[in-house]
Chain A
Amino acid sequence: METDLNSQDRKDLDKFIKFFALKTVQVIVQARLGEKICTRSSSSPTGSDWFNLAIKDIPEVTHEAKKALAGQLPAVGRSMCVEISLKTSEGDSMELEIWCLEMNEKCDKEIKVSYTVYNRLSLLLKSLLAITRVTPAYRLSRKQGHEFVILYRIYFGEVQLNGLGEGFQTVRVGTVGTPVGTITLSCAYRINLAFMSTRQFERTPPIMGIIIDHFVDRPYPSSSPMHPCNYRTAGEDTGVTYPSVEDSQEVCTTSFSTSPPSQCVFTVTKAHFQTPTPVVTDTLRVPVAGLAFSHQPAALGVGSADLAYPVVFAAGLNATHPHQLMVPGKEGGIALAPNQPTHGAQADQERLALYTPSDGAHCMATPSSSEDTETVSNSSEGRASPHDVLETIFVRKVGAFVNKPINQVTLTSLDIPFAMFAPKNLELEDADPMVNPPESPETESPLQGSLHSDGSSGGSNSNAHDDFVMIDFKPAFSKDDILPMDLGTFYREFQNPPQLSSLSIDIGAQSMAEDLDSLQEKLAVHEKNVREFDAFVETLQ
């Protein structure tokens, strides 16, 4: 067998590859720290700068990389991967990129190890420096801070790209041929930034548009934990199980303000969203808007810290309602229901941190009924089963910034669907304009609006606002104080004003008749002033 490499070359090559891998990890992680990197050139070689590039070595990162490599080198089938993901303050996370250092079998026997390979590895590192600033995650990482942080995880072995969502793109940074194989460095990055929780990638293919506020153990419990791309903490996310959402028919959104725990925002999880609701006023875009936490991000990844956030939903509810349904998310193989297209589209509109419980959520609550996943109808079946099977705690809908305690729950074990909207439960809700907005005029013609305008707050309004998905939002210039009447409250209360009386049918009809009568006179008057009008028109020309 022709051994092309003498032992010295082989040793050198192994060393080069090892340090190249370590430097690659450093470059990638440093590029996601959220700060600008600056190192100095030095004309006199120090001897410690591998590949003639000044790349700082963050000790923790080196340690993690060495741990992942465990003395091995990238080889065929064994790639070194750096996974970059985003984690919000609520604990939800999303993979953004996977950087892969792979080796394939194509060898370049003639290449000179100590010279050409070394210089090409150096060039590849420079390319990596350039490319790490160019993928979408870079801009995200520069904005990290209170609302979200960027984490990294190094693993060695097979590349796992399922977490990147559909339609992810790949960019190849470069290749270097060596006598033992060709080193390839590439990056696969997510382009669909619609927020998805990690659980979707566990066993089932990701489903577009579903947003679930349900947390499970990390998909790779046995592999390395995530680390924040910052210097502040040494905390590790050890895969804490997050409390899951209660699966009531009114699953909650998370609130993204710093409103105290007594104020929650809930969505009405009307399962059929056949008419896109006009009331969705503020769709929040990924990932920054709306996540307005003013507390310290602290050591992310410590599970208990999440509950300390003054976030409404998850923390508040879980703290006060310990019996919430734990959605059996971890039980294997519960397929998530693909949504009806309309709902999917709807969910797309309310992106990010909107944890609109989809139909899938209904299915999850009732494993038995979840098999029929294709046609999730909003029907009573979905709703009835939670009632039947489980005694759930329904939390009352409360509008944002409403100064009412959240533990006004109605415990119900009624079989009928829409039990929540049975008249007897509505008395409190009637008075709450957020829950019962007056009939919005958009749905009717102005002439008929008056027919409903008087009796709007009474009666069943379930249909009207069942289609509403209320999202907490932060109006511009509002302060997040706890006054019950701040800008957001004001806005919400008055955004659906009652019909103008002049548009009401009776008055309208009368005035129209009058108008018609007076037309003749008006025309006569105008004709007298024809000259003035003409002069005016000429001045305009």
Chain B
Amino acid sequence: MNCRSEVLEVSVEGRQVEEAMLAVLHTVLLHRSTGKFHYKKEGTYSIGTVGTQDVDCDFIDFTYVRVSSDELDRALRKVVGEFKDALRNSGGDGLGQMSLEFYQKKKSRWPFSDECIPWEVWTVKVHVVALATEQERQICREKVGEKLCEKIINIVEVMNRHEYLPKMPTQSEVDNVFDTGLRDVQPYLYKISFQITDALGTSVTTTMRRLIKDTLAL
């Protein structure tokens, strides 16, 4: 099975990096999260309810919708913050990318560790620009807001192609498909990583961070 891959590119000012990344990641996760499953007898299950909330950006004229889960929000903010710091400290051209990868776990026999098979990868490439005047920043606010609107439309377009999604698992398999560790929502298993790249796209410093509690590296 092929993993589908989507790439988005954004050009932002330094202080907009966090919000732009959060907007994109949250929008993707909104579509890739369900309510908590409650398995009943006879193999049926019921699904909890996902709430949503609007988030206004401070540095961009933009509002995005995220699932109402503080845990998820915290986790994303943590990794986006690390990405932002890495970008700032790299001192390079201000190019970097984050990857949000949805995967399934496939249990293997001992002594082999479980396989992680990605089925969808979203890559967001970021280019940080430095602006000199306040007027430029104001224009940038609006421009980036408009660009993000386009990105959201792109994301929604991909989501609605209704391409491969993992099958709904049985109770024993649910942890291979979904991240059941959160209290209020249940996203598909995902991991987020980032890289600081140079102009050619090759990785200058490969900084991989694992976010999920239960992924094992191959």
Contact = CB atoms under 8 A, between A and B. Distances in A.
Interface of A: 36-46, 49, 52-54, 115, 120, 123-124, 126-127, 129-131, 133-135, 138-139, 142, 171-176
Nearest to A175: B160
Nearest to A39: B51
A332 to B, nearest CB: 40
Interface of B: 27, 30-31, 34-36, 38, 46-54, 56, 61, 63-65, 67-69, 149, 152-153, 155-157, 159-160, 162, 168, 183-185
Contact of B48 (A36, A41, A175): A41
B161 to A, nearest CB: 9
A81 to B, nearest CB: 20
B30 A54 contact: no
Contacts of A171: 153
Contact of B47 (A39, A52, A123, A133): A52
Contact of A44 (B38, B54, B69): B38
Given A130-B152, A130-B156, A131-B152, A54 B50 contact: yes
A131 B153 contact: yes
B152 A41 contact: no
A37 B52 contact: yes
Nearest to B186: A43
A126 to B, nearest CB: 5
The DSSP consensus for interface residues of chain B is mixed
Given A43-B36, A133-B65, 10 more contacts: A37-B52, A38-B53, A41-B35, A123-B31, A123-B162, A127-B156, A130-B152, A131-B156, A172-B160, A174-B156
Contacts of A36: 53-54, 56, 63
Contact of B160 (A40, A42, A46, A174): A174
Given A36-B53, A37-B52, A54-B51, A43 B63 contact: no
A139 B53 CA distance: 16
Contacts of B49: 41-42, 45-46, 49, 52-54
B48 A43 contact: yes
B54 A37 contact: yes
A134 B153 contact: yes
Contact of A39 (B36, B52, B159): B52
Contacts of B54: 36-38, 133
Given A53-B49, A123-B31, A173-B156, A41 B64 contact: no
Given A52-B34, A52-B47, A134-B153, A123 B159 contact: yes
Contact of B183 (A43, A127, A139): A43
Contacts of A52: 34-35, 47-50
18 contacts: A36-B53, A39-B68, A41-B35, A41-B48, A41-B67, A43-B38, A45-B46, A45-B48, A52-B35, A123-B31, A126-B30, A131-B152, A133-B152, A138-B63, A142-B63, A171-B153, A174-B156, A174-B159
Contacts of A138: 63
